């Protein structure tokens, strides 16, 4: 059994702590760098999704406006001129009601 002096033991412990600290620092640095890269990718994908969703919403809104305007022109043929705007607005309210129903149905069934 070899005898180790207290000073050699303390030096060995400090060397071990230093090596473990260096390893921990390196692994933490790699982890943080990976998280930064992942966060940047997530932000890029999220911004693309938000941008494309905004464009889709604008296109759907334009399509609904043109559809209701076309229906208004058809209503002008079959209805008096002062009733046609009301018929077109009722059609738009019906479309809004359908979208609202599906949105509420989706929200209420999200937990199930």
Q: Round to whole Å and give the CA distance between 85 and 73.
A: 9
Other CB atoms closer than 10 Å to residue 95's CB: what's the count? Answer: 13
User: Are residues 84 and 76 in contact, defined by beta-carbon separation less than 8 angstroms?
Assistant: yes
**Whole-structure pTM value:** 0.59
Residue 103 binned pLDDT confidence (cut-offs 50, 70, 90): confident
Instruction: Give whole-number Cα distances, 4 to 14, 16, 19, 28, in Å.
Output: 15, 16, 21, 34
Hey, where are the domains in the chain?
Answer: 6-108
Q: How far is CA 5 from CA 9, 14, 17, in A?
A: 6, 14, 18
Q: What is the pLDDT of residues 35-64, one digit of tens each?
A: 999 999 999 999 999 999 999 999 999 998
């Amino acid at each position: 059994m070899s005898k180790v002096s207290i000073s050699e033991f303390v030096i060995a412990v400090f060397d071990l702590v230093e090596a473990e600290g260096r390893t921990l620092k390196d692994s933490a640095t790699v982890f943080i760098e990976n998280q930064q890269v992942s966060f940047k990718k997530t932000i890029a994908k999220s911004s693309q999704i938000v941008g494309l969703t905004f464009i889709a919403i604008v296109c759907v809104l334009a399509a609904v406006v043109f559809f209701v305007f076309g229906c208004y022109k058809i209503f002008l043929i079959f209805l008096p001129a002062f009733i046609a705007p009301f018929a077109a607005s009722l059609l738009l309210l019906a479309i809004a009601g359908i979208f609202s129903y599906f949105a509420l149905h989706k929200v209420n069934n999200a937990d199930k």
